[in-house]
Amino acid sequence: MPEDLLDAAFAARKCSHSPYSNFRVGAAVRTTDGRIFTGSNVESSSYGLTICAERLAICIAIHEGHKDITEIAVVADTSGAPGPCGACRQFMYDFAPTATVLMANLNGDRRTVNVGELIPWGFGPSDLLSFESRRGDSNE
């Protein structure tokens, strides 16, 4: 596993703003040019407005003009290697569908999968483009 990416995710976890759950998560993404962008979860008192670490890291990479994400690392204090939530899995499928996902907990448990394994038969941008091309100009 790329230790530098996991190290970046561990460091990002320290920046978590999680006063309600105290569940701190760190994430890091690597782009095709080797740059690493990090994020941590940022909680809102209205939990639905909380931003997950994985989505924040992806958004920062995209904001900085880096859309080709090859790897995603996520770190949390869980009993096993942490799986991303459903919203993050969808976000990964939309923005990094072929990325490798590295998951690690604080005890050294690790798991590596690709995004397709996290969200099999996912629905993403290519499905919408396919629909639009079939639909043409009609408003049926």
Which residues belong to the active site? 54
Per DSSP, the residues of 61-75 read HHHTT---EEEEEEE
Alpha helix (H) ranges present in the chain?
3-13, 53-63, 86-95, 115-118, 125-135
Cα–Cα distance for residue pair 103/72, rounded to 1 Å: 8
- Report residue 99 CA to chain centroid gap: 10
Helix 53-63 / helix 3-13 crossing angle, nearest 10 deg: 110
On whether the CB atoms of residues 58 and 38 are closer than 8 A, the answer is no
